[in-house]
Structure 1
Amino acid sequence: MKTRIALYAVGGSLILLGLRGIVTESEPRSWVVWFAGAVLLHDFVLVPAVLVIGVLTAWLPVACRTPVRAALIVAGALTLVASPMVLSTGQRPDNPSILPLSYGRSLVILLALVVAVTAIWLLRKRTQK
């Protein structure tokens, strides 16, 4: 119990430190817009997408549903987060250090990793029967 309280105190202190940094070292209005956008994206894109995934995968055998749903949700989240970089949003010809990597290739590698982990998960579930 004491450990939990200590961890809460440390976490709360770090949150306050971060908030102080937002207020003193940046423009708070831009952060408010960013957080509001994150809430809207979560409520109007992510949650409906997860619900649709649940409905569309209902035909799968029960043993396969959780791994496939998890993979689709992770793949969707990765794609959503990587999309601005893959589309080169914010890249400028006068500054090649902005978005210098091959983000499309990296996304494909990560998605292949999600597929591989899901395949292993399904194979292990199959062999446990």
Structure 2
Amino acid sequence: MRLVRAVPALLGTAILLYGMLGLLGASGPSPLGRWLLVVVVGWLAVDAVLTPVVIAAGRLLRRLLPDRPGDRPGRRGAVRVLVGAAAAVSGVLTLVALPLVDGGGRDASVPSALPLDYGRGLVLLLAAGWLGVGVAVAVLLRRR
């Protein structure tokens, strides 16, 4: 089991070091300053915005989706786990897709730059995911 954890940790560390060396060796107008700005803003966004939203959503889900009848106390029901996982994946997918939906970087003179309707794609992916969760929840509830 140690090897299973050590290999990804070593790989991630090597990738991080490679990126840092590239950043420090880059020429041009202060990429280190821009990088630090992105890291600090990202860190603040996660700690000040994203974390409270995730905690509030989790508490709301806990109230809306109580434990299944007959479950041992403290054991989470399968419905709550499915809905919680779908909500987490939806949130991450939305965060990743927002810059594409916004169209930042789109240039009319380069038709191949961001050529798709990313907003529609995001909606379709979210709808397909939640449809799958709905079917799984319906099957679970019907089995009871």
* Shorter-chain TM-score tier: 0.7 to 0.9
Q: CA deviation at 1:103?
A: 0.4
Alignment counterpart, residue 85 of structure 1, candidates 93, 100, 105: 100
With 74-83 and 99-108 compared, the bigger mean Cα shift is at 74-83
TM normalised by structure 1 equals 0.79
Q: Give the aligned partner of residue 14 of structure 2.
A: 13
CA RMSD of aligned residues (A): 2.5
TM-score by length of 2: 0.72
Q: Distance in 2 between matches of 1:78 and 1:67?
A: 16
- Paired residues, number: 129
Pairwise CA distance, 1:53 = 0.8
Query: Is 2:54 aligned against 1:53?
Result: no
2 CA distance for matches of 1:10 and 1:77? 23
User: Larger % of helix: which?
Assistant: 1
- For residues 105 and 90 of structure 1, the distance between their equivalents in structure 2, rounded to whole angstroms, comes to 18
Structure number with the bigger relative contact order (C-alpha 8 A, sep ≥ 6) is 1
Deviations 1:68-113 (A, max 9, x none): 2222222122222212211212322223232111101210121023
For structure 2, the 5+ residue unaligned runs are 68-76
Aligned 1:3-42 pairs, distance under 5 A: 3=3, 7=7, 8-25=9-26, 27-42=31-46
Percent identity over the alignment?
Answer: 35
Deviation at 1:116, TM superposition (A): 2.8
Unaligned runs of 5+ in 1: none
Rate the CA distance shift 1:5–1:91 in 2: closer, same or farther, 3 A: closer
State how 1:78-117 maps to structure 2 within 5 Å.
78-117=93-132
Residue-by-residue CA offset, 1:35-92 (whole Å, 9 max, x unaligned): 1122112112211111111222212232322222222222122222212211212322
Counterparts in 2 of 1:99 and 1:121: CA distance versus 1, 3 Å: same
Q: Please tell me the residue identity of whatever aligns with 1:24.
A: G
